[in-house]
Chain A
Amino acid sequence: MPAREATLTAVFEGHDAMLPSWFRVARIRSETQDTFTLELTADGEKTDFTFQPGQFNMLYVFGVGEVPISISGPPPLRDRIIHTIRAVGTVTRNLWRLKHGDIVGVRGPFGTAWPLKEAEGRDVVIVTGGIGLAPLRPVLYHLLHHRKKFGRVILLYGARTPNDLLYGDEFLWPALPLDLTVDYTVDRAKTDWRGQIGVVTTLIPRAEFDPSRAVTMVCGPEVMMRFTIRALSERGVASERIYVSMERSMKCAVGFCGHCQYGPAFVCKDGPVFRWDRVERLFGIREL
């Protein structure tokens, strides 16, 4: 089967991957001053939505444009898709302005997933910053749901200020204790803050995990990931057990248009999740 045909069949089960399906806004919840969570329900023919943690959808605001957004809800929710979005551009600002019942076009899911099967039996260390926690939230749901299959599960999270921390009630200060070690830090805070100050990389030397066996998943801006990977390597984590989620300008999402080309790869279909040793060389090329 030709590559193009295979891709389309795989991701859309008969649908044309370039055609959006209709979904309705079920709920919009503000997370921080510039970030919100959008819950969409199926409207029409595509009612059995499944995805792998790490994948993304293309969300289309009619008359405005389309953006790639990671899926941040739990995988078993087949009738509902959840995205946490930072309103930083025209399309994302318009997404935040939508009301209950409004229609959004959705194409997806696209891209590669976090290595949950490989992580079984090992410590799992998630290192993330800012909105980078959103693509890893499905991973946390999966790890907690299948907790006995994994060793220690550690979430290291950084944000600009305490008000920028995502999912605080859910993971950072949950009402009921989770079988999860969480350490978080912010860059800046007022003096009434009792938590930690410093970038997320400072949490890595203190984290208790077995670097020779751990699988690590890193998501955030590239500069954050660069220094995080350096800190993980200094702890002794091998390159082939570090996974990163890359971000590039994705347009078609199926590897045709070339907007997200990253060396020999396309981030939309060969990523966004990459094993570090496979992109390490590209990371050092500033022109890419």
Chain B
Amino acid sequence: MTVIQQEWMSNALFSGLPPDCVERLSHTTRNESFESRELIFREGEPADGFHLIQKGSVALEIFVEGRGAVMIETLGPGEVLGWSWLVEPYRWHFDAKALTATQTIVFGGRVVREVFESHRDCGYLMLKRFLPIIVQRLQATRLQFLDVYHARA
């Protein structure tokens, strides 16, 4: 097992996956580093994979005409950045920017989708793990819109 593989295998997203699935996913990975304030991806660009954040923090932003960039969420170590690679037409829905010096492991989207197609069991397992993350983020975003802290005097 390579060092990079050990790093991502320790994440709950991948724990207990069949060895052949791990083996195939490992061919899609690469390390990336970003300086503070560096753009990781931009809305509308091709979503070429997802990032597993190892160090640092990342802000998801949306550009609003007349207001500029608005931060909507921040993510930190151990968290997954990006799922637009899972959904056609595979383009980013938000901007992602490193808030501090950030290191990630990137999983190539096209190859991961191919692995999911050819190894349906592996794909099903992975989707079952991605879905709670997506639901959790959706729930958190809904709560943000509710302005929950101002209900109490």
Does B72 lie at the interface of the complex (its beta carbon under 8 Å from any beta carbon of A)? Answer: yes
B149, A159: Cβ atoms closer than 8 Å: yes
State which residues 56-99 of B face A: CB under 8 Å. 57, 59-61, 68-74, 76, 78, 99
Instruction: Evaluate whether A92 and B99 lie within 8 angstroms (CB atoms) in the complex, with A191-B69, A223-B146, A224-B148 already known.
Output: no
**Given known A198-B74, A198-B140, A202-B140, contact A220–B152 (CB-CB < 8 A):** yes
Contacting pair A191 B61 (CB below 8 A): yes
Shortest beta-carbon distance from A5 to chain B in Å: 32
Contacts of A132 in B (CB 8 A): 149, 152
Determine the chain A residues whose CB is within 8 A of the CB of B148 once the complex forms. 129, 158, 199, 220-221, 223-224, 227
Q: Is the pair B144, A199 in contact by a Cβ cutoff of 8 Å?
A: yes
> B67 — nearest CB in chain A belongs to which residue?
A190
* Any A CB within 8 A of the CB of B26: no
Chain B residues whose C-beta falls within 8 Å of the C-beta of A129 in the assembled complex:
148-149
Chain B: which residue is nearest A132 at the CB level?
A: B152
Interface: A277 (CB within 8 A) = no
B147 at the interface (CB under 8 A from A): yes
Point out the residues of chain A lying under 8 angstroms from B59, CB to CB.
191, 197
Q: Which residue of B lies closest to A69 (CB)?
A: B153
Expressed in whole angstroms, the minimum distance between the Cβ of B43 and any Cβ of chain A is: 15
Residues of A within 8 A of B147 (CB): 160, 187
Contacts of B100 in A (CB 8 A): 194
Q: A199 and B140 in contact (CB under 8 A), knowing A129-B149, A131-B153, A191-B69?
A: yes
Task: Judge whether A88 and B153 touch: CB under 8 Å.
Answer: yes
B57 touches A247 (CB 8 A): no
Give the size category of B's interface with A. 20 to 34
User: How many Å lie between the Cα of A195 and that of B76 in the bound state?
Assistant: 11
Q: How far is it, in angstroms, between the C-alpha of A189 and the C-alpha of B78 when the chains are bound?
A: 23
Q: Tell me the complex Cα distance, A187–B111, Å.
A: 35
Pairwise interchain contact B143-A160, C-beta atoms closer than 8 A: no
Flag whether A201 is at the interface (Cβ < 8 A): yes
Could you give, for residues 178-197 of chain A, a 1 whenever the CB lies within 8 Å of some chain B CB and a 0 otherwise? 00000001011111011111
A102 part of interface (Cβ distance < 8 Å): no
Chain A residues lying within 8 Å of B72, measured Cβ to Cβ, are 197
Are B76 and A198 in contact (CB-based, < 8 A)?
no
Q: Which residue of A lies closest to B12 (CB)?
A: A205
B3: CB under 8 A from chain A? no
- CB atoms of A247 and B152 under 8 A apart: yes
State A198–B142 Cα separation when bound (angstroms).
Answer: 10
**Which residues 217-231 of A have a CB within 8 angstroms of B?**
220-224, 227
A191 with B152: CB separation less than 8 A: no
Q: Which residue of A lies closest to B146 (CB)?
A: A223
Interface residue? B139 (CB, 8 A): yes
- B151 contacts partner chain A, Cβ-Cβ < 8 Å: yes
Shortest Cβ gap from B61 to chain A (Å) = 7
Decide if A197 touches B143 in the complex (CB within 8 Å): no
Could you say which residues of chain B place their CB within 8 Å of the CB of A284?
A: none
CB neighbors of A among B129-153 (8 A)? 136, 139-140, 143-144, 146-153
Cα separation A202 to B148 with both chains bound (whole Å): 14
| Alpha-carbon gap, A92 to B99, bound state (A) | 39
* Residues of B close to A199: CB separation below 8 A: 140, 143-144, 148
Q: Can you name 22 A-B residue pairings with CB atoms under 8 Å?
A: A129-B149, A130-B152, A131-B153, A185-B74, A187-B144, A187-B147, A189-B71, A191-B71, A197-B71, A198-B74, A198-B144, A199-B140, A199-B148, A201-B139, A206-B76, A220-B148, A220-B149, A220-B152, A221-B148, A223-B146, A224-B148, A224-B149
Question: Interface on A for B, CB 8 Å cutoff?
Answer: 86, 88-89, 92, 129-132, 158-160, 164, 185, 187-191, 193-199, 201-202, 206, 220-224, 227, 247
Interface of B with A (CB < 8 Å)? 57, 59-61, 68-74, 76, 78, 99-100, 136, 139-140, 143-144, 146-153
